[in-house]
């Protein structure tokens, strides 16, 4: 996969505060096709139960955002950091819950036997990257939350509904790839 410079360049940020989180956007390289690996959060979780997301979480003190993304991917789905080739970071995503998410894009080979941390992750699934590239498959609507108008991104795929920060990150990746 080739990441070309576009309107929003990838960066190598290492910011670390308690309100920052990092996620890994795993792109699975099948040789003939690229797929994006998503997680579905466990239903018993207090925050965002059942939502589709990327492996990730809070950046720990003294940890870079890339280290946090790789650590969380290993903790949540058993993806060893040695299996990931980081390409760079997409623009940080501000959320309505007060977090700033720093998404890292990484290429991985097809994985066998991922070990899900069932206390956090109910399932993993893949979607062809090509599904997200046409603008017709990426939707937005303006929504006013807590007196602030925000763009809500959503992307249906088969029986899955990808929305919120995860969809916004996918939208940014698609813009970068154009």
pLDDT of residue 111: 86
Position 124 in a domain: yes
Structural domain boundaries enclosing 66: 20-134
Q: Which two tokens stand for residue 143?
A: 């929504």
pLDDT of residue 121: 92
Asked if residue 82 has pLDDT above 80, the reply is: yes
Position 150 in a domain: no
Position 25 in a domain: yes
Q: Which two tokens stand for residue 115?
A: 């070990």
Sorting pLDDT into bands at 50, 70 and 90, what band is 44? Answer: low
Which CATH number goes with the domain that contains 95?
A: 3.90.79.10
Asked if residue 87 has pLDDT above 60, the reply is: yes
Asked if residue 26 has pLDDT above 50, the reply is: yes
Position 159 in a domain: no
d(CA 124, CA 115): 10
Name the CA dihedral angle for 171, 166, 158, 145, rounded to a multiple of 10 degrees: -90
Asked if residue 5 has pLDDT above 50, the reply is: no
Q: Which two tokens stand for residue 103?
A: 């998404």
pLDDT of residue 43: 63
Position 142 in a domain: no
Query: Which residue would you say has higher pLDDT here, 48 or 148?
Result: 148
d(CA 84, CA 68): 13
Tell me the pLDDT of the chain averaged across its residues. Answer: 86
Specify the number of domains making up the chain.
Answer: 1
pTM: 0.84
pLDDT of residue 50: 67
């Amino acid at each position: 996969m080739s990441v070309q410079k576009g309107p929003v360049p990838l960066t190598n940020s290492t910011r670390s505060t308690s309100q920052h989180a990092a996620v890994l956007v795993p792109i699975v390289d099948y040789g003939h096709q690229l797929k994006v690996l998503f997680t579905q959060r466990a239903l018993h979780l207090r925050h965002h139960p059942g939502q589709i997301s990327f492996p990730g979480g809070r950046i720990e003190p003294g940890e870079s955002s890339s280290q946090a993304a790789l650590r969380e991917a290993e903790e949540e789905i058993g993806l060893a950091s040695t299996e990931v080739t980081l390409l760079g970071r997409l623009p940080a995503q501000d959320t309505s819950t007060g977090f700033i998410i720093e998404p890292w894009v990484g290429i991985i080979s097809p994985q066998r036997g991922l070990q899900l941390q069932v206390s956090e992750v109910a399932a993993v699934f893949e979607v062809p990257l090509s599904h997200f590239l046409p603008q017709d498959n990426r939707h937005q609507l303006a929504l006013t939350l807590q007196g602030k108008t925000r763009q809500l991104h959503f992307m249906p795929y088969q029986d899955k509904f990808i929305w919120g920060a995860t969809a916004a990150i996918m939208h940014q990746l698609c813009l970068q790839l154009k």
